[in-house]
Each structure stands twice: as structure tokens, then as C-alpha cells.
Amino acid sequence: MKILVTGGAGYIGSHVVKALGEEGHELLVYDNLSTGHDWAILYGKLVKGELADSRCLDEAFSAFKPEAVLHFAASIQVEESVRKPLRYYRNNVSNSLNLLDAMERHGVRNLIYSSTAAVYGIPDRMPADETMPLNPINPYGTSKVMMETVLRDIASAGNFRYIALRYFNVAGADAQSRIGQAYADATHLITRALKTAHGEYPKLSVFGTDYPTADGTCIRDYIHVDDLADAHIRALNYLVETGRTEIMNCGYGHGFSVKEVVSVAKKVTGIDFPVEETDRRAGDPPELIADSTKLRRLTGWQPRHDDLEFIIQTAWDWELKYSSRLKANL
Ligand code: UDP
């Protein structure tokens, strides 16, 4: 298939581009390279452009004639979204509307949309399934709920269908260390812990130890990025074969606390890096675990890397390679 991938130079997008390329699809990455890198695109071509730029989008759609779009380009940091909400509504909502307009103008009716567990807010049942109410507690989650609502309405109006994948905590890297998380100010726990082990930060902050969990720290369902990439391939096949709009959670169905992640990171790296317990970070729910029964049932998806040590090992291998590469460029 001919597939246009927005944000394909970024962390998750580049792993999905790798998986799609390995399946033989023809790919066009549309990315402004604000956080992504052209070297991360292992297959297909790049158009460097803004989603806000309808003319650039039109040119890309006219020249490439995609049959489907995978939309990864978005801002994703919960805490930043609390401080800069407008940025999140601009990037995640307004720019997505622009993309949807372009899809409509060019008759492209298949979309895989990147959503998030943050749409659930603080779920009253765990694991969270797709039928749970959407009560986001931060602008990031709200921006994704807004887009899910838009998509629902466009799909019911007619000639458009989509699958929204609600990601839980995506982590790890390509097992061959060709690509991985590569932005300077990464705030995610595993990346932050590994950068601390590597000496890039003096210590790792554990945000909150008074949550209602066994050890007082937040619990998350960490999913390896290649398992998530495989979920996209399967979701796309499902969408094209059945023409059915669906929403599916992506996670393993069990979680680890911040303290557990820290201890595995210390074990994998062999480095006893400094850790400090601090106040809670704004916008963090205590626990997020996916019920991914639907994804498994409808697409046949099965995790291949459900192993926190493997996830952290691949992230660590990548971190070492990426930082030596950065040094070499200096
Ligand atoms: N966290 C932490 N220290 C950090 C980064 C994250 O204690 O330096 C915690 C954060 O408060 C949350 C969990 O780790 O409870 C996962 O956060 P992350 O930013 O990785 O993902 P999120 O769940 O916010 O998407």
C-alpha cells in the first residue's frame, strides 16, 4: 500500500515506518523534524513540512496519492501540556484537523490515529478497557479526546474510517539500535533514568511516593515500541480488510511502579545512579494498565517483548549508541 506517515521521523513513527517498510509498503513521511530526525527514517521518502501548511500537504497528497494515513505527529508530554495548553490544542487538534481536511480533499479515507491512555484520566477500574468513560486530567489527554470525538463524527458522516490506538507507556528501542528515543529533553521515565545512569543528569527524580499503590509510586503499563509498531500493521490490515472503525488499547495488561522501573534500570546498566524522591508531577494518574483484549481478538496481535528487562536493555543499548554519535558530531 501507499501510506503517508505524519511524524514518521519521530520515536514511535520511525519504528512503525521500519515495520511497514519491512512489509514492503511504499511510504512517504511527512514531518517538520521538530523532534524527529531524517536519519531515523529507514524506509520511504521524507517531505519536510508543517501540518499547518495546507499547500505543502496538498502537494504531498497530490504527488504521492496515499491510500492510508498514519498520524503520529503530535506533542506528547503531559507536564508540558499543563504549562502550555495552547500549544497542545494547536499541534494536536488544529493541525490534525488540517490533515483531515487534506485527506478529504484528496479522497483518502483510511486513518490510523495515535491516541493515548491519558484519555481515561484516573480510571475507576483497572485494567482500563475501551468502554471506560473519557475523563482526561491534563490538556494532552483532552487534546486526544477532542480528536477522537472529531474522528467519530467524521466516520459516522460517511466515507471515512479509522482505528484509534490508545497507547499506554511506550518504551524500548530497535533491537539492532538503529533507531530509538532521540530528543534532547526527553521526560519519560525510562529514558530519563538511563540518561541519569549515563551521567547526563545528576539524579533521577521520583515524582511522588504517596500514591495509593503498593510502594507509593505510580504504576504504568510499559509496552515495547516494536510490539506497538506491530499493532499498527495489524490495525491497518484490519481497517483495510473490514472497513470497520474501531478504538483499541495497546498495552500488556500489567504494570510496574516507578521504583520497580528504577531498580530494573540499575540492574540492566549496572550503575547505581542517584535517585531523589520529590513531589508529585502535575497531571499524573496513580495507575494506568491496559486491557488490550480487543486488539488481540480483532487483529491477532500478541506481544513479543513483554519483558521489562528487555525493554530497558534495548533502550540502554540505544542510549549508549546515540550519545556516542552525538559526541562524534560535536
Ligand atoms: N516519572 C518520574 N521521574 C521522571 C519521569 C517520570 O518519577 O523523571 C514518573 C511519572 O511521574 C509517571 C511515570 O514515571 O508516574 C511515567 O511517566 P512518563 O513521563 O514516562 O510517562 P506518562 O505516563 O506521563 O506518559
CATH number of domain containing 206: 3.90.25.10
Whether residue 224 has its Cβ less than 6 Å from ligand 1: no
Give pLDDT, residue 124. Answer: 87
- Which protein residue's CA is at the shortest distance from atom 10 of ligand 1? 207
Contacts of 1 (CB under 8 A, 6+ apart): 25, 26, 67, 68, 236, 240
Indicate whether this complex's ipTM tops 0.85.
yes
Question: pLDDT tens across 97-121, in order?
Answer: 999 999 999 999 999 999 999 999 9
Q: Work out the pLDDT band at 49, boundaries 50, 70, 90.
A: very high
Catalytic residue selected from 11, 30, 120, 140: 140
CA distance 281 to 279: 6
CA distance 123 to 218: 14
Whether residue 284 has its Cβ less than 6 Å from ligand 1: yes
Residue 271 lies in domain: 189-220+253-289+306-329
Residue 330 pLDDT more than 60? no
Secondary structure class of 141 (helix, strand, coil): helix
Instruction: Report whether 122 contacts 136 (CB < 8 A).
Output: no
CATH code of the domain covering residue 51: 3.40.50.720
Atom of ligand 1 nearest to the CA of 193: 8
Question: pLDDT tens across 271-283, in order?
Answer: 999 999 999 998 8
Of 204, 220, 280, which is best to mutate to test ligand 1, by the most ligand atoms within 8 angstroms of its C-beta? 220
Residue 236 forms part of a structural domain: yes
Output phi, psi for 196, to 5 deg.
Answer: -70, -45
Q: Are residues 147 and 212 both part of a single domain?
A: no
Q: Are residues 246 and 263 both part of a single domain?
A: no
Q: How far is CA 129 from CA 69, 85, 104, 161, 299, in A?
A: 25, 27, 31, 21, 16
Structural domains in the chain (count): 2
Give pLDDT, residue 76. Answer: 93
Q: What grid cell was written down for 171?
A: 518504551
Round the average pLDDT of the chain to a whole number and report it: 96
Residue 86 pLDDT more than 60? yes
Q: Are residues 111 and 213 both part of a single domain?
A: no
Question: pLDDT tens across 165-203, in order?
Answer: 999 999 999 999 999 999 877 889 999 999 999 999 999
Whether residue 259 has its Cβ less than 6 Å from ligand 1: no
Residue 180 forms part of a structural domain: no
Q: What grid cell was written down for 136?
A: 482526561
* Sign of the dihedral through C-alpha 61, 115, 130, 19: positive
140 is catalytic: yes
Q: Are residues 228 and 163 both part of a single domain?
A: yes
Residue 75 forms part of a structural domain: yes
Q: Are residues 236 and 257 both part of a single domain?
A: no
